[in-house]
């Protein structure tokens, strides 16, 4: 039987999912996904994790657990840096070690994707290592990566264009500053988007942006922040905060990088109403709904449309 690779649908899956799936597909390797986040996945991950871990990390462990025994390997990425002063949160560095330790008695094999530009291991290197670890030739792995990257670029460009088009629409626009794995998770951020739409607002994602340009532009709000994904969000905010009616800062509890970056945003952007919303395992959508309703009312009141 040929190898199958399990893809946990948490954390970096929301950034690299299409790239990984297309890469494995090009190599003729079957993938198995853990499925959308459910309460069961979240509770299972929380039970496997130390209390201090952020909700996103707990959810990720729940997704790994959902795949154990269903595939030959489970892909657990380690992404550390994209270059000088372009770091990832330490949870992304530690995750392969955490997973190995938590699931050490379950007889599951894990596959690593290791991206650390500061250690001269860039994305093409990471994919080459991934392909050869699965027994593919270097030539086949390079070809599969080139095809997957082309598809990822094409799709991401489309998504950014669709998001940019929302700024031209009539209506109350709310910019959401959140990590992709928070805003896209059906248990975390998706309900926030749905509630805002239900209230007649147009939610727009700050993270869906030209990433390289956003990293450069992030210096307008903070020249010192080093976390890559926070810089992308800051860059998205810097480019668009003056085109929206309100901003929602959406974080998973307890996120160290967001707690610092959100303070900077609150300090730097003064002219637009900002709601700071932290999601934890207990916060049902009822509390979130009430806060979003009040926020939308405040914007209406400010704009004289209540």
Interacting residues with ligand SF4 (CB under 6 A): 54, 56-57, 89, 91, 179, 252, 255-258
User: Using N-to-C axis directions, what is the helix angle for 13-26 and 123-133, rounded to 10°?
Assistant: 50
What is the rounded radius of gyration, in angstroms, for the C-alpha atoms of the chain? Answer: 20
Smallest separation, CB 100 to ligand SF4 (Å): 18
Q: CB 262 → ligand SF4: shortest distance, Å?
A: 11
Nearer to ligand SF4, 25 or 80 (CB): 80
Helix H or strand E encompassing 86: strand 86-87
Nearer to ligand SF4, 72 or 278 (CB): 278
CB of 272 to ligand SF4, least distance (A): 23
Taking the complex as a whole, the smallest distance from the CB of residue 126 to ligand SF4 amounts, in Å, to 19
Which of residues 88 and 175 has its CB atom nearest to ligand SF4 in the complex? Answer: 88
Shortest approach of ligand SF4 to residue 265 CB, angstroms?
15
Give min distance, CB of 257 to ligand SF4, in A. Answer: 4
Directed axis angle between helix 90-102 and helix 55-67, to 10°? 40
Helices (H), 6-137: 13-26, 39-48, 55-67, 90-102, 123-133
Give the residue among 267, 297, 226, 265 at the shortest CA–CA distance from 81: 226
Tokens of 122: 């860039």
Matching residue, tokens 């002063």:
85
Nearer to ligand SF4, 61 or 252 (CB): 252
Q: Is 122 helix (H, G, I), strand (E, B) or coil?
A: coil
At 265, is the secondary structure helix, strand, or coil?
helix
Which helix (DSSP H) or strand (DSSP E) does residue 175 occupy? strand 173-177
Nearer to ligand SF4, 184 or 258 (CB): 258
Nearer to ligand SF4, 14 or 21 (CB): 14
């Amino acid at each position: 039987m040929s190898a199958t690779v399990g893809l946990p649908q948490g954390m970096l899956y929301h950034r690299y999912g299409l790239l990984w799936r297309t890469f494995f597909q090009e190599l003729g390797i079957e993938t198995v996904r853990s499925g959308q986040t459910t309460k069961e996945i979240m509770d299972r991950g929380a039970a496997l994790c130390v209390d201090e871990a952020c909700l996103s990390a707990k959810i990720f462990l729940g997704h790994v657990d959902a795949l154990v025994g269903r595939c030959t390997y489970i892909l657990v990425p380690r992404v550390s840096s994209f270059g000088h002063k372009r770091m990832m949160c330490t949870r992304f560095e530690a995750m392969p070690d955490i997973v190995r330790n938590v699931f050490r008695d379950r007889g599951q094999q894990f596959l690593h994707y290791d991206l650390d530009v500061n250690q001269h291991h860039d994305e093409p290197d990471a994919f080459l290592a991934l392909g050869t670890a699965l027994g593919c030739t270097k030539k086949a792995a390079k070809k599969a990566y080139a095809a997957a990257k082309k598809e990822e670029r094409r799709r991401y460009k489309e998504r950014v264009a669709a998001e940019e088009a929302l700024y031209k629409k009539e209506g109350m626009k709310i910019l959401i500053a959140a990590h992709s794995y928070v805003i896209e998770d059906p248990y975390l951020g998706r309900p926030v988007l749905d509630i805002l739409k239900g209230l007649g607002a147009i939610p727009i994602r700050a993270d869906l942006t030209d990433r390289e340009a956003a990293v450069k532009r992030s210096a307008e709000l903070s020249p010192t922040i080093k976390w890559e994904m926070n810089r992308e969000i800051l860059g998205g905010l810097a480019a668009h905060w003056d085109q929206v009616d309100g901003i929602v800062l959406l974080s998973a509890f307890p996120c160290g990088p967001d707690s610092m970056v959100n303070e900077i945003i609150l300090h730097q952007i003064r002219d637009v109403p900002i709601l700071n919303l932290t999601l934890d395992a207990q916060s049902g959508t009822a509390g979130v709904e009430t806060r979003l309703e009040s926020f939308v009312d405040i914007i209406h009141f400010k704009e004289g449309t209540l």
